[in-house]
Structure formats: structure tokens, C-alpha cells
Amino acid sequence: MAKTTTAIRFDQQEREWIQAYADFLGISFSQFIRRAALEKLEDALDTQDYMQALKEDDGTRYTTDEIMREVMEDE
């Protein structure tokens, strides 16, 4: 997939702080920002999925023994 360039403005101190941490991790500034943004997005999507699952939860719970019996019956 082709990559595009995007400009993000940081205060000098923010830029230095982020760069220092990226250096510590052994990755470039761009890699760090890309990873951080994508992880934040993934976390938000996971939270949405969790909230939807809570809405759909009917309260049914199974013990480990019940699950194992079900698995063994399916084999």
C-alpha cells in the first residue's frame, strides 16, 4: 500500500520528548507516531466492541466443566 505524507505540528518540547522515546525504542519518529495513532484507534474500536457486547449480553454464563462437556460432545 502506498504511503502518503501528513504534517502534524508539535511544540518543540513535545517533539523532543517523543523523539527521545522513539530513540529509546529504536524506531523512527514517524514509526512511533504511526504506531501510537493506530494503537489508539484499535483501542477505541475494541472499546466500542466491548460496549456492544455488554448491550447484547443476556447474562448466560458457563462453567469450565460445561464448556468441556460441550467440546467433547462435538468431537
Contacts of 12 (CB under 8 A, 6+ apart): none
Give domain status of residue 5, yes or no.
no
The arithmetic mean of pLDDT across residues 29-41, rounded, is 98
Residue 5 backbone dihedrals phi, psi, to 5 degrees: -95, 135
**18 belongs to a structural domain:** yes
| Mean local confidence (pLDDT), 26-30 | 98
Checking if the pLDDT of 1 tops 90, the result is no
42-59 confidence digits (pLDDT tens): 999 999 999 999 999 999
Identify whether the C-beta of residue 32 lies closer than 8 Å to the C-beta of residue 25. Answer: yes
Asked if residue 2 is part of any domain, the answer here is no
What is the C-alpha to C-alpha distance for residues 13 and 68, in angstroms, rounded to an integer? 55
For the record, the C-alpha cell of 35 comes out as 504506531
Q: Number of folded domains in the chain?
A: 1
40 found inside a domain: yes
Mean pLDDT of the region 2-29 = 97
